Structure 1
Amino acid sequence: MLLSIAPHRRALNLAGFGICAALLAGAYYLEWVQGMEPCPLCIFQRLVFAALAVVFLLGACFGGGRIVAGLLAVTASGGVALALRHLWLQSLPPDQVPACGPGLDYMLGAFPFWETVSMVLSGSGECAEVDRVLGLSIPWWTLAAFVVLGVVGTLLNLARRRGA
């Protein structure tokens, strides 16, 4: 089956890019139209979707292959880790939720970059708030998207070309 996919790798990578762009557009729609304010972990997950989009675009431009497959696997794994961390924070009992911290804009301006990353990954109260779309929390949706995009993108870019 994967052998029949390999000649269409550029188009499938372009489709992966389009899916990532659509997910980002959906996130901005939820923010700007529906009024759902993203927490710092949500913003980091958006950055990972943007990075995935860039890797898919590279695969579309250069025909994919092992390097693109590896980059997709690593990037999607980072997204999975962020989504799982977000889900864990949302599962905490109210008395164990970390206190709300300063906004991401303030942290980026006031602290060194890696200290800001560390603070965001430790979580805050705003990351524990649960907003649902079609019955599932947003981190569940992002987890599913990272898994599907990572697995499918990696496999399609590992597919061998006929005669190779």
Structure 2
Amino acid sequence: MLPTSRQILFAVSSISFALIAFALYLQHILEMRPCPLCVIQRYMFLGIGVCTLVSAISGKVREGTILALLAGLGGLYAVGKHLYVIANPGFSCGIDPMETFLNKIPTAEYLPWLFRADGLCEGATDVVLGLAIPQWSAIWFVVLTVLLAWVLVRRKA
């Protein structure tokens, strides 16, 4: 028996929040500083998690899934740019207007432990289980985006 759309949304939400928790572990325990593109990806995972959780709880599956899917697509764009930066040494997003802008957003000012960008994008090459963190992020954005698209196109369940 296939899981219901709401069960899938709860799972997607749980995975998204777990990924944020893992990012915080990497930042605060392993002292890996997040770059601007990492922070944007955090916002996108958080967007997916919140939208799917609210959608699953409220029963408004279509609306929440569409918003979460938009966050997933935004995350795919951000991680694609991040992978491009890593693959092309010399192309940097380091200390630039994007970092300054991100660090001035109220969420970054009030929750700097979660949303402050102070690392270099091209330096995000630390490996976990054989892949760099942005590669893992890309895999999870693909998985979550595919699940969200499947929820939208499947029959009501």
* TM-score above 0.5, yes or no: yes
Q: Give 1:104 shift.
A: 3.7
TM-score (norm 2): 0.78
Aligned residues: 143
The reply on whether 1:141 has 2:128 as its aligned counterpart is no
SS class of match (1:37): coil
Question: Which protein has greater RCO, CA pairs closer than 8 Å, 6+ apart?
Answer: 1
Q: Give 1:99 shift.
A: 7.1
Look up the match of 2:146. Answer: 151
Is residue 9–residue 55 contact of structure 2 (8 Å, CA) maintained in 1? yes
Q: Give 1:24 shift.
A: 0.5
Structure 1's unaligned 5+ residue stretches are: 111-123
Is residue 6–residue 61 contact of structure 2 (8 Å, CA) maintained in 1? no
Sequence identity of aligned pairs in percent? 32
Q: Give 1:134 shift.
A: 1.2
Aligned pair partner of 1:131 in 126, 129, 149: 126
Where in structure 2 are the equivalents of 1:39-78 lying within 5 Å?
39-78=35-74
Q: Greater CA radius of gyration, 1 or 2?
A: 1
Distance in 1, matches of 2:146 and 2:93, equals 35
Q: Give 1:56 shift.
A: 0.9
Look up the match of 1:82. Answer: 78
Counterpart amino acid of residue 153 in structure 1: L
